[in-house]
Structure 1
Amino acid sequence: MNLHEYQAKELLKKYNVPVQEGIAVDTVMAAEEAYRQIKTQTGNNFAVIKAQIHAGGRGKGKIEGTEQRGVAVAKSAEDAATIAKNLLGGTLVTIQTGAAGKKVNKILVAQDVYYPGPNPVKEFYLSILLDRATGMNVIMYSTEGGMDIEEVAHNTPDKIFKEWVHPGGPLQGFQARKIAFNLGLSGEAFKNCVKFVTNLYNAYVGLDCGMLEINPLFKTSDEKIIAVDCKMNIDDNALMRHADVAALRDVSEEDPTEVEAGQYNLNFVKLDGNVGCMVNGAGLAMATMDMIKLSGGEPANFLDVGGTANAQTVEAGFRIIMKDPNVKAILINIFGGIVRCDRVAAGVIEAYNKLGNIEIPIIVRLQGTNAVEAKKLIDESGLKVQSAILLSEAADLVKKAVA
């Protein structure tokens, strides 16, 4: 589950991770008031206003049809109102959103941390995620933080450092010091960085994060180390341990079909192909997607109905798949182990009758428990549903459907 920047920062503060303070708002009037509060607190006329969407590249992105950037600096309450008016309700297009962009429903009015002082300011990059190759958490960091970190990784990979942390154990003190040293810090900034990285790693583990990215990690002119931006992803499988975090979910940022599928406990991921597929079991689903490609089609989705498929889940799966106008055929591939094939067949027939007016070919391949009975049910239903027993038969039917 992805979180907005303002949500992630509030969680980090619970782990004593210093952050750029700000106020999240959803109206122009509230943005003006937030600006005045920030100005009073900091004594600074400058405030940073950031669009809150689940995507990076906001600083370079623009509101569709305008020149308004996703991150802008306000020098007055009037500026704050103008920027907020341009952002709220607009569609922000960034390198990560694609051409469709994402609608901005909230903005964060944050303090300016780039104020002048006795020492130069500096942007760094730091992220924590699971390295599946080693089975350990890895901290990736660089002296070259900011909006162009992707180019740094591509053009100068030697500037990206990595520190692996053994699972089940804490970040060791020498590792935190090594990170601060490699970032070129000394004195008070060095000490603050060691504390920051240690607390950040504790937050990563404590919140069951899948990924935690701070870009930029920032050294202020008075040697403080703070998180100016934060991307946080929480492992969905751990949300049962974090009811407070689960409540932060913003479904408006997610694909509506995936949200609907979740309501029926369906594992669904939308893709860009032309053949919808409904399968029980993730492994079989992956194999089915491969088969679709080998047959000349492209999978339009990943849909695992699990081992408890019934008429309701099959109907929900049908409805979700058919919302995609690119789908030219639907392939149902069920191996009857936990779930009986005849139960799935009955669900297919019931769903077909309920939905009605299904113009695209539907191919059903059932194998395993009660497969023969299931094929008989479908063949005698009188519906325009093509049944198959062998995977090769299903592949041939898919090939004809998309030809």
Structure 2
Amino acid sequence: MRLHEYQAKRVFAEAGIPVPDATLATTVEEAVDAAGEIGFPVAIKAQVHVGGRGKAGGIKLAEDADEAREAATDILGMDLKGYTVDRVLVEQAVDFVNELYVGVTMDRGAGKPVAMVSTKGGVNIEEVAAENPDAIAREHVDPAYGLHPYQARKAVYDAGVDREVAGDVASILSTLYDLWDEKDGSDAEINPVMITDDDEVIAADAVFNVDDDALFRQSEIAQLEGETTDDDLEAMANEYGFDYVRLSGNVGIIGNGAGLVMTTLDLVDHYGGSPANFLDIGGGAKAGRVRNALEVVFADDNVDSVVFNIFGGITRGDEVARGINEALEEFDTIPNPVTVRLAGTNSVQGMEILNTDLVTVEETLEEAVQRAVADAEEVAQ
């Protein structure tokens, strides 16, 4: 579960991490009023789950009420990387002299949590990790004991943080780890931590993602779930119980298993296409579940073709084929061409059952993906 910035900052503030004064607004008038109450200058920030909001025009500074009105008018309702902005965070602007990064996540290679600090804040940390990995100081944590104070201090000093603010940054890192641990976090980041000219340390952004499987014991965070979905399609997919991520391409992808779907995404890209989504239909592929998956994918106006990649394990290929047939027969008109690849248990029988008036059947995944990419190109022309 991905919290919005305003939600994550609320969690951080309650734990003692300093954040700027801010108010959530859903209308231009609310944004202008909030800016006046907070005091100028302010930052007006789109609340959607995408990176690079500033470069995309989703974050603007305002020096007075007229600029605040203009910024809120521009941002509210805008399409930001496929998401419609319906709320903004109006936040006290921070006059900073330096930007840092602090974060906590699971290092799956080491099998341990890792706390991270970098003086390269304010930019994409993945780029920093790829281009200059030594710029990120890391401390692996024994989860039985937590992040020791000396580890937090060591990470801060190893990163080269100025001594004047090192103690405060170490305190933020320790608090962030405690939150990550106590609230079953998957990722917790502040990028940037802003340093002011009088050595104040402020969390100017906030990322906090929580393990979905732990929400049963995180009742306060679970109550926020309805507010965390930016997109109607993602909300629909959540309602149907699918693992779904909307992307920016035009080839819809449905598979049974996360690894299978990821492989399909990679092949779509490899053959020159662009994935429109990640949709893991999960175990079983009866007609109703297939129908729901197709409803989600067909509802995306960007989709020009669909590829099914199904591996029959416990679920038999002939059952899957009947489910696909029954689901497609419920549509008066099939909006987009559909290609199916079946493998595994009873896949041969399944491919014989599939109604080729409704779908194109391909024997290999490579052939199925190439067909779907070609269909998307043809529809898009």
Same fold per TM (> 0.5)? yes
How far is the alpha carbon of 1:174 from its aligned partner? 0.8
- Checking the alignment, whether the CA contact within 8 Å between 1:300 and 1:327 is kept in structure 2 is no
> How far apart in 2 are the matches of 1:91 and 1:271?
14
> How far apart in 2 are the matches of 1:362 and 1:112?
51
> How far apart in 2 are the matches of 1:204 and 1:341?
42
> How far apart in 2 are the matches of 1:356 and 1:57?
41
Structure 2 residue 120 is matched with structure 1 residue 132: no
Structure 2 residue 209 is matched with structure 1 residue 233: yes
Within a 5 Å distance, the mapping from 1:201-212 to structure 2 comes to 201-212=177-188
1:365 is aligned to: 342
1:195 is aligned to: 171
Superposed CA RMSD: 3.8
- Choose from 79, 83, 87 the match for 1:106: 87
1:253 is aligned to: 230
Letter in 1 for 2:45: K
> How far apart in 2 are the matches of 1:49 and 1:292?
37
Q: Residue 195 and residue 260 in structure 1: after superposition, are their counterparts in 2 closer, same or farther (change >3 A)?
A: same
- Choose from 40, 43, 46 the match for 1:48: 43
1:35 is aligned to: 35
TM-score (norm 2): 0.79
> How far apart in 2 are the matches of 1:5 and 1:211?
13
How far is the alpha carbon of 1:348 from its aligned partner? 2.4
> How far apart in 2 are the matches of 1:298 and 1:122?
38
2:379 is aligned to: none
How far is the alpha carbon of 1:198 from its aligned partner? 1.3
Q: Which moved more, 1:358-367 or 1:104-113?
A: 358-367
> How far apart in 2 are the matches of 1:160 and 1:222?
25
> How far apart in 1 are the matches of 2:272 and 2:126?
35
- Choose from 288, 307, 310 the match for 1:333: 310
How far is the alpha carbon of 1:170 from its aligned partner? 0.9
Q: Residue 37 and residue 307 in structure 1: after superposition, are their counterparts in 2 closer, same or farther (change >3 A)?
A: same
- Choose from 272, 295, 312 the match for 2:288: 312
> How far apart in 1 are the matches of 2:73 and 2:371?
52
1:89 is aligned to: 77
Q: Residue 357 and residue 13 in structure 1: after superposition, are their counterparts in 2 closer, same or farther (change >3 A)?
A: same
Q: Residue 53 and residue 341 in structure 1: after superposition, are their counterparts in 2 closer, same or farther (change >3 A)?
A: closer
Letter in 2 for 1:27: T
The structure number with the bigger radius of gyration is 1
How far is the alpha carbon of 1:171 from its aligned partner? 0.6
1:178 is aligned to: 154
- Checking the alignment, whether the CA contact within 8 Å between 1:180 and 1:190 is kept in structure 2 is yes
How far is the alpha carbon of 1:197 from its aligned partner? 1.9
Q: Residue 180 and residue 371 in structure 1: after superposition, are their counterparts in 2 closer, same or farther (change >3 A)?
A: closer
2:20 is aligned to: 20
> How far apart in 1 are the matches of 2:268 and 2:28?
49
Q: Which moved more, 1:261-270 or 1:168-177?
A: 261-270
How far is the alpha carbon of 1:23 from its aligned partner? 1.4
Percent same amino acid at aligned positions? 35
TM-score (norm 1): 0.75
| C-alpha distance after superposition, 1:80-133 (max 9, x if no partner) | 3343333323345xxxx4xx5x43322222234428xxxxx5432222222222
Unaligned runs of 5+ residues in structure 1 are 40-44, 64-69, 116-120
How far is the alpha carbon of 1:10 from its aligned partner? 0.3
> How far apart in 1 are the matches of 2:105 and 2:223?
23
- Checking the alignment, whether the CA contact within 8 Å between 1:28 and 1:84 is kept in structure 2 is yes
| C-alpha distance after superposition, 1:283-337 (max 9, x if no partner) | 4545666787899987665443222332210111233334456544644534151
| C-alpha distance after superposition, 1:141-168 (max 9, x if no partner) | 2224335867765665543322222234
- Choose from 20, 37, 56 the match for 1:61: 56
- Checking the alignment, whether the CA contact within 8 Å between 1:288 and 1:333 is kept in structure 2 is no
How far is the alpha carbon of 1:196 from its aligned partner? 2.0
